[in-house]
Copies of this chain bind each other. A is one copy, B any other.
Amino acid sequence: MARKNAFYAQSGGVTAVINASAAGVIEAARENKDVIGKVYAGRNGIIGALTEELIDTSKESKSAIDALKYTPGGAFGSCRYKLKDLKTSQREYERLIEVFKAHNIGYFFYNGGGDSADTCLKVSQLSEKMGYPIQAIHVPKTVDNDLPFTDVSPGFGSVAKYTAVSCREAALDVASMCATSTKVFVMEVMGRHAGWIAAAAGLAKEENDDAPHLILFPEIAFDKAAFMKKVQATVEKVGYCVIVVSEGARYEDGTFLADAGTTDAFGHKQLGGVAPVIAQMVKAELGYKYHWAVSDYLQRAARHIGSATDMEQAYAVGRAAVEFAVAGKNAVMPTIERKKTKKYSWTIGEAPLKKVANVEKPMPRKFISKDGFGITPSAREYLAPLIGGESYPPYKNGLPQFAKLKLAPVAKKLNDVFDV
């Protein structure tokens, strides 16, 4: 096999451990120098391939690449940019081929979620449809945990851990003060249309009266009467009530709770955030003093409380992608396979991109309790091992020390400018 260079790009919303996948790709490629030349990373994801802004990862030291394992965010830059089908986006695919050809790129590693899997699939077809030989491997990543075929999406375990830990901690704060102060605390979490992250908060609960007392899932239409009844019953019994709400929570008709009609002084639609909407609703209906939190990016960047399991899996899928490429594979994605052992264990599996692309894995209804406000034992069994182990970054002067890369640009070989 003639030695070719590889292209690696990060795509879509970043996670606390996407850089661990980058480290996996780069380290495995370095161990396979007979097959893979250099790994060029796209600056700001696939956009870097289109604009020929490539980063030469061979200029990075071993320790810098190692530091990626505990550095949140996307070290090479990510983007939200979706290539359409080969026909509609023909000029862009042609451009990719020009850039790949100019830099002798034969391997395409794309680190992203469902949309990116689709792009990766299309790149994998360039060989057949446009005559450019390339192997495209998708490296799974998303905090939303909605990728199919893999037991879990790397990135999810860490946000899940942050959410469960934060919920348990904040609940102790609320419990302390509820006699004379805040009685209802609303904590908003990410997850888009899937309730995986919200469900993970449920792990904070050990005993019946523990927080979270209610979880609002996007999968369950919001029933205001049932909700208020349970909030009131909880405050009356426990003294306070902790509510976790998914950003995607919605009414029966599909309207997001976050869009519930608040306007600011300028007449703009409300400032965003479903937590304040819920909190205000409880106050109006039941009169309880409330507080709310929207941790937003803090949750998916919270590498300081990363899940060791998640970090190891993110790293492993990066390595596996390279091993798949070296083995001559194309249009596949490494997956996490849960083994049927009593103690949690996992191995790397493989899924064809044709089946992965654009398919969302919904949270099973059996993971949500009958009343719609909690998680079931089977959800707990699925979720618990994913937050296992604490992967702490190194600290200096009280602050985490994250990777500092050189991000050395690869000299451009094409003369034209490509607008994206």
A residues contacting B by CB (< 8 A) are 10, 13-14, 16, 44, 47, 71-75, 77-81, 161, 164-166, 168-177, 179-182, 185, 187, 203-204, 260-266, 268, 270-273, 276-277, 279-280, 284, 291-298, 300-305, 307, 309, 384-390, 392, 395, 397-400, 402
Known: A73-B169, A169-B400, A173-B297. 4 other contacts (CB 8 A): A81-B180, A270-B271, A271-B276, A384-B397
Q: How distant is the Cα of A73 from the Cα of B260 in the complex, in angstroms?
A: 33
Check if A293 sits within 8 Å of B291, measured CB to CB.
no
* Pairs A–B under 8 Å by Cβ, sample size 8: A73-B174, A79-B180, A166-B298, A166-B301, A174-B297, A293-B294, A295-B298, A390-B395
Check if A280 sits within 8 Å of B271, measured CB to CB.
yes
Cβ-defined partner of A398 (8 Å) among B10, B74, B389, B398 = B389
CB-CB under 8 A from A388, the residues of chain B are 397-398
Q: How distant is the Cα of A297 from the Cα of B211 in the complex, in angstroms?
A: 14
Q: How distant is the Cα of A164 from the Cα of B400 in the complex, in angstroms?
A: 10
With A261-B265, A263-B265, A295-B295 in contact, is A398–B180 under 8 Å at CB? Answer: no
CB-CB under 8 A from A273, the residues of chain B are 271, 273, 276, 292, 294
With A164-B399, A271-B277 in contact, is A80–B176 under 8 Å at CB? Answer: no
Q: How distant is the Cα of A179 from the Cα of B10 in the complex, in angstroms?
A: 13
Q: How distant is the Cα of A268 from the Cα of B284 in the complex, in angstroms?
A: 9
Check if A270 sits within 8 Å of B264, measured CB to CB.
yes
Q: How distant is the Cα of A273 from the Cα of B296 in the complex, in angstroms?
A: 14
Check if A14 sits within 8 Å of B176, measured CB to CB.
yes
Check if A79 sits within 8 Å of B44, measured CB to CB.
no
